[in-house]
Amino acid sequence: MQEFERLTQCKYQADGAFFLRIVLRITFLWLTFAESAWAYVDPGSGMLIWQGLIAGVGAVLIFVRNPIRAIRNLIDWIKGK
């Protein structure tokens, strides 16, 4: 009986995250290698992309720089003791 259970066990856990990753990878590849796209990017969409990129850079500067500064201040405070 143990041999049967060992042989029937799946190599990967059948969890939702695994299947979601597979579906997203297949979707990404399908969209990447499309033969033709009967669409265009209008100037409004292009500006929306630029706005998102600029907002992302600003968010990284605000939310990453301050925690790094806080950690440095903590280390300096510990060394100062």
**3-state SS record for the chain:** CHHHHHHHCCCCCCCHHHHHHHHHHHHHHHHHCCCCCCCCCCHHHHHHHHHHHHHHHHHHHHHHHHHHHHHHHHHHHHHHC
pLDDT for the residue numbered 51: 95
Q: Rounded mean pLDDT of 51-63?
A: 89
Counting the structural domains of the chain, the total is: 1
Q: In the numeric block, which tokens belong to residue 7?
A: 């042989």
Q: Rounded mean pLDDT of 63-77?
A: 83
Distance, in Å, from the CA atom of 23 to the CA atom of 20, rounded to the nearest integer, reads: 5
Look at residue 14 and tell me whether its pLDDT is greater than 70.
no
Distance, in Å, from the CA atom of 63 to the CA atom of 65, rounded to the nearest integer, reads: 6
Look at residue 63 and tell me whether its pLDDT is greater than 60.
yes
Tens-place pLDDT, residues 16-46: 677 888 888 898 888 888 777 677 777 788 8
Give the residue numbers spanning the domain of 20.
Answer: 2-80
Tens-place pLDDT, residues 2-12: 666 665 565 55
